[in-house]
Structure 1
Amino acid sequence: MGSALAGHTRGRRERLRTETTAEIKTVALELMASGGPDAITLRAIAREMGMTANAIYGYFTTRDDLVTTLINDVYTSLADTVDAAWDAIPAEEPADRIQAWARAFRGWALANPEGFRLIYGDPVPGYRAPAGGGAPDAARRVCTGLTALAAAAWPHAEHLYTGSDFGWSDFDAGLLDKVRPAFPDLPPAAVALALHLWARLHGLVSLEIYGHLRTQTISPDKLFREELTQLIRSLGLTPKGGRPS
């Protein structure tokens, strides 16, 4: 009886801790959305949640511990989303795969604007990543996924880079550490293609997330779809169903 009660009590405490941790992270992102990256402080979060400052330190020892957790969570959510979209399309349909990845990326960003701003917007002032931590594994997955887009398009788009003088020294060593092991046969120009694809997709989504398209168009979805159409055509690809959807 006593053992069962103790187990029930531990289980309840664990559930409460999990729920409180999730709320802390949600409030942190809400504060960032309303006040910018420097609005993320443990004291501000405690105040919003009606907790004491000392109580919140039982969940996250420092502000940087919280930010690190948030970054990992956000990247994991994004990586899971775009990977699932990519994997759902057969490898024999590169145009459709690229479209699926791009639509999933935009859809995730629109559903998670605070997370998008955390990992792709202004850095959190004074934040220091854990020593030796490097980029989160999920961030590497996103980077590798972008290179997969270029790898899928490369047989059709290689001629676009004929005569280019890209070499491995043109790229950051950290980037190459992520992508070369996954795609050992790709030349340096294909990495350049990956960055060009990223610029086109990320650029338009970023403008939308930060509200810069609001006074420019009432149809940002249509604009993004047309961007995909032109992108696919520029790569010499044709979606299985014809015009990109």
Structure 2
Amino acid sequence: MIEGSRRERLRAQTAREIKETAMALLAEGGPGAVTLRAIGRRMGMTAGALYGYYATRDDLLTALIDDVYTGLMDEIDRACGVLPADDAAGRLMAWAQTFRGWATANPEGFRLVYGEPVPDYRPPPGGPAPEAERRACAGLVSLVAAAWPYAAGRQRDGGYDWGDFGPGLADEVRASHPELPPAAVAVALRVWGRMHGLVALEVHGHLRAQARHPEKLYREEILDLIASLGLVVGE
């Protein structure tokens, strides 16, 4: 039993080291640098030995994306969870600030989840991190649902119907928030786009010459977003 536990700990430690090495390669050389051969060379293992942990490079990338995305959502849930459920403005700001802080501290993780697809990567059916993606969509929709009594009169209808959205998202929203119209789902996706836009420019280095304090730009963008929903962040 003791020997088995020790073997399991060593295996878990090696699996973590494989992931850490893959992330280091990603940071140094981009997605194309992540190969089992390169990981094995850096760790002093043969590619064959790595197959005992991950059958293919795609399996490893799927595990990495799931870890990274889940870690992000855990941070966001903690930041939002300390605020009252009806404080939609505060939670939106907490979500946005946590997202930016995570992305700027972990640019390689941001690029892995939100950057260009890894060359020749074939994700599994349902995507590489379906539960984390579901949490992100559900969380943003819940924030918009809390804001909707104030936001509805400020938003264009846009002529949306449920067929404009993926069936998984549409079905979940209709089950969890039956009072919301399709236009609210469009608002949730637009909220995500505005939260993401300046962060992507910053992480990819496109604001370096233009903005000395990108965090100030980002906060103003999110305050404007919150105001567009008829909300105010409490001071």
TM-score interval, normalised by the smaller of the two chains? over 0.9
TM-score (norm 2): 0.92
Give me the whole-angstrom Cα distance separating, in 2, the residues matched to 1:132 and 1:217: 38
Question: Which residue in 2 is equivalent to 1:152?
Answer: 146
How many residues matched? 235
**Percent of aligned positions with the same letter in both sequences?**
58
Deviation larger for 124-133 or 29-38: 124-133
Partners of 1:30 and 1:134 lie apart in 2 by: 20
Q: How far apart in 1 are the matches of 2:105 and 2:128?
A: 27
> 1:134 & 1:21 partners in 2: Cα distance?
18
Let me know the Cα RMSD of the aligned residues. 1.8
Which blocks of at least 5 consecutive residues in structure 2 are unaligned? none
Structure-1 residue corresponding to 2:65: 71
CA contact under 8 A between 1:140 and 1:178: conserved in structure 2? no
CA contact 1:78–1:142 (8 Å) conserved in 2: no
Q: 1:209 is aligned with what amino acid?
A: V
Of 214, 220, 225, the residue aligned with 1:220 is: 214
1:87 maps to which residue? 81
Distance (whole Å) between structure 1 residues aligned to residue 211 and residue 6 of structure 2: 50
**Matched-pair contact (CA < 8 Å) for 2:76–2:95:** yes
Alignment map for 1:66-145 (pairs within 5 Å)? 66-131=60-125, 135-145=129-139
Q: Answer whether contact 2:63 2:128 (CA < 8 A) is retained.
A: no
CA distance in 2 between partners of 1:46 and 1:228 (Å) = 43
How far apart are 1:9 and its partner, in Å? 2.4
Structure 1 letter corresponding to 2:7: R
Flag the 1:191–1:15 CA change in 2: closer, same or farther, 3 A.
Answer: same
Q: Sort the Cα spacing of 1:180 and 1:210 in 2 relative to 1 into closer, same or farther, 3 A.
A: farther
The answer to whether the Cα contact below 8 Å between 2:27 and 2:108 also exists between their aligned partners in 1 is: yes
Q: If the length of structure 1 is used for normalisation, what is the TM-score?
A: 0.89
Q: Per-residue deviation at 1:231?
A: 1.6
1:161 Cα shift? 2.6
1: distance between equivalents of 2:40 and 2:106?
A: 23
- Cα distance between partner residues in 2 of 1:227 and 1:47: 45
Residue number in structure 2 paired with 1:175:
169
Partner of 1:190: 184
Report the AA paired with residue 75 of structure 2: T
* Matching residue of 2:10: 16
Structure 1 contact 79–142 (Cα < 8 Å) conserved? yes
Deviation of 1:162 after TM superposition, in Å, equals 4.8
Computing the radius of gyration over CA atoms, which structure comes out larger, 1 or 2?
Answer: 1
Q: Post-superposition, which runs of at least 4 consecutive aligned residues in structure 1 deviate over 6 A?
A: none
Question: Equivalent residue of 2:197, what SS?
Answer: helix
The structural deviation recorded for 1:155 is: 1.1
Assess if the C-alpha contact under 8 Å between 2:66 and 2:128 holds in 1: no
Structure 1 residue aligned with 2:24 = 30
For residue 175 of structure 2, give the secondary structure of its aligned residue in structure 1: coil
CA contact (8 A) 1:208 1:220 kept: yes
**Paired position in structure 2 for 1:54:** 48
Maintained 8 Å contact 2:40/2:47:
yes
Q: Equivalent residue for 2:231?
A: 237
* Aligned residue type for 1:75: Y
Q: Deviations over 1:164-188 (max 9, x none)?
A: 3111122232432443333222101
Structure 1 residues without counterparts, runs of 5 or longer = 1-6
Query: 2:158 aligned with 1:164, yes or no?
Result: yes
1: CA distance, partners of 2:146 / 2:125: 35
Counterpart-to-counterpart distance in 1, 2:107 and 2:165: 29
Shift of 1:50: 1.4
The alpha-carbon distance between structure 1 residues 125 and 48, as it changes in their structure 2 partners (threshold 3 A), is: same
Contact 1:151–1:186 (8 Å) recurs in 2: yes
